[in-house]
Amino acid sequence: MKKIKKRGIAKTAPKAREKVIVENAKRLLDNVFLVVPIPYGEKAKKAVAKLRKRLEKVDRFKSDVKRLEKLSKKKGFVGALAGTLLIAHSGKAPYLASVRIGGKEVMYAVRGKADRDLLISFQHFDDPILRLVGFKEFAFKNKLALYSWNKHFVCTDREVPEEFVEFIVKETGLEKRGDLACCQHLASNSKDNHLRIRWENANLIMKICLQCGKNKNTIMEMSKYFIDPNLREHIHPEVILKTSSEGRKDHLDEYFIGNLTDAGFIEKNIDEWKKSLKGRIYILRDVSYGTDVEKFIRELKPNEVEERALRMIFSKLEEPVIVEDAPPNKVLTTYWKRFGLEVLEEFTKDRDLAKELYDLSYPPSRILEIAVSIRQRKEKLSRFPSIRSSSPVIEFIDKLAKSYLIFGKEKVLSMLSKPPKDVKQRSIAFAFLLAIGKGEDRKWQYTEIEQEYGAYLKDFVDRLLKSDPENYRKNFNDLLSACGFEERV
């Protein structure tokens, strides 16, 4: 049953709602037993017969307003029926009280001393949800289940009526095949994580996936239409994970009282399952690969560089690795803070360089690509001649050229973010900027003479930056000559 919030203050009734209540009261005046459920089974027949006998007393005096007024002062079904029949006689219900049931405002007329919920059931007996409201005590006292749908109202201690099962399956948007009702996604793929509800006395299994269960609680949706005193003995929800055929039932109480959606119940159980994992185990998209790191890495589909880094990280972990549907870079990001610097040291064989790369604001996959590129360039650079000189200008040229060969033009731009103070170095610096295509952007930092001299030196710098180990020294000396230096390296 839906939760019922506290009664509101009586208010002037909207005409449409007043009309519904008055018309229903008149229909009960014609037949007071319209509100009585149809019994199935001996136990149900006895309980309903007692209820009818109590209502017959009101029925005998339904044309006597004074007797109805006396009867309306009674509690229970008699008072509720008598109070409702008084509305039929008066033909109006100008003031109505209101209550929220399942998030919906329900209005009813207060007559006599009958219980609020019974008044709602009698005045809205044609509503399959509201007519149940006042029958909870009846159901629990007699240990009977009540089922209410469309124009049917059934009372029984037997199995759930087949017609009601069909109604619930349709109402919850499931597809039924035999004794199994699934959401549209599980009908074609039953291996996804899902909610499984075994409705024991209906001989039905219901399955709802995470996507279909986002905005609903199936048990709450079902129980709007019935009262079962033994609900938790008859309905058994559990979460079935891809990793196991055994159901999980964590947070079951929260789910039963409606504090969790179907999806919330599934997610809570997935979280509990993850917390229970111990040791080195690999899980991707909630599929467990056990300790098979090779298969796990293949499923991540990393490139060669990412794979090498992932292997290093996984070899250091003694804990479960749980990954959603994520690219390798996101997996690397998860562990980058803990292992990124160590991985880069292994890639570059240079702790200072590793620290510099680690501080970059790029994604880990991109940083690793840079690290590999730098390592390759450094290996290449190791074949270049070592330039030794006491001249600051020669050291300046060599540092710029080799920084370009290792790190690329971004490093050169960084080194030249502020022009050098030495006059010759300034012209050489501008020549390097021209060679890497950034002269126009930075020319405002240099004088016209420095720009002209730099333009003259540009071709020499171009050849130096395109040098291989065999002609690096020659191209270096050519640049020195162009700069007016007699020294050779």
Lowest mean pLDDT among 25-29, 163-167, 338-342, 380-384: 380-384
Residues 359 and 409 in one domain: no
Scan for tokens 């005590």, then name that residue. Answer: 137
CB 460 within 8 A of CB 479: yes
Cα separation, 450 vs 52, in Å, equals 109
Which helix (H) or strand (E) covers residue 335, if one does? helix 328-348
- Single residue among 156, 177, 199 that ends a domain in this structure: 156
Sequence-distant contacts of 337-344: CB under 8 A, at least 24 apart: 339/312, 339/313, 340/364, 340/367, 342/312, 342/316, 343/309, 343/312, 343/313, 343/368, 344/368, 344/371
CB 100 within 8 A of CB 106: yes
What is the reported pTM? 0.66
Cα separation, 115 vs 345, in Å, equals 77
Checking if the pLDDT of 2 tops 80, the result is: no
Query: What's the pLDDT tens digit per position in 109-129?
Result: 998 899 999 999 999 999 999
Strand 152-156 relative to strand 194-199, pairing: unpaired
What is the extent of the structural domain holding 318?
282-380
pLDDT the model gives residue 11: 55
Query: What's the pLDDT tens digit per position in 72-111?
Result: 999 899 999 999 999 999 998 878 899 998 788 999 999 8
Answer whether residue 4 is part of any domain: no
Total domains in the chain come to 4
Checking if the pLDDT of 285 tops 80, the result is: no
Lowest mean pLDDT among 23-27, 174-178, 207-211, 246-250: 246-250
Mean pLDDT of 276-298: 83
- Residue with the bigger pLDDT between 167 and 403: it is 167
Scan for tokens 């609680």, then name that residue. Answer: 217
Query: What's the pLDDT tens digit per position in 341-375?
Result: 999 999 988 899 899 999 988 999 999 999 988 88
| CA–CA distances in Å: residue 489 to residues 64, 237, 466 | 125, 82, 18
Answer whether residue 403 is part of any domain: yes
Answer whether residue 1 is part of any domain: no
Q: Among 449, 446, 448, which Cα is nearest to 433's?
A: 446
CB 468 within 8 A of CB 377: no
Answer whether residue 265 is part of any domain: yes
- Single residue among 134, 156, 178 that ends a domain in this structure: 156
Cα separation, 443 vs 462, in Å, equals 18
pLDDT the model gives residue 10: 52
Mean pLDDT of 305-322: 90
Residues 270 and 292 in one domain: no
